[in-house]
Amino acid sequence: MKIKEFFALLAGVLKDWRVIVTLVVMLFFMWTANFILTYKKRPKKAKKAKEPKPEKPPKEEKKEEKSEDGSSEGGE
């Protein structure tokens, strides 16, 4: 077999649709296996701790205080 015949045979084999499909499927499986073997789950991003909101001081009720004798201020 001469080199010219060899390359013609090789080109005929490589151009066959069954060889091309087989090559694509094998490459896909190899890529998938490599991905599974090298997959590392990334840790969740650490969330910044929220600063607690400062508590609001209790609302002071504006009530008129009664004097000791029971009458309100500013009255008679």
- Total structural domains in the chain? 1
In a domain, 46, yes or no: no
pLDDT (tens digit per residue) in 29-76: 999 999 999 988 778 887 777 777 777 777 766 665 555 555 555 555
Residue-number span of the structural domain to which 14 is assigned: 3-38
Q: Rounded to two decimals, what is the model's pTM?
A: 0.48
In a domain, 24, yes or no: yes
Label residue 42 left, alpha or beta by phi (over 0 means left) and psi (-120 to 50 means alpha).
beta
In a domain, 12, yes or no: yes
According to the model, what pLDDT value does residue 35 have?
A: 93
In a domain, 16, yes or no: yes
Give, in order, the Cα–Cα distances in Å from 66 to each of 17, 74, 75: 102, 10, 11
In a domain, 7, yes or no: yes
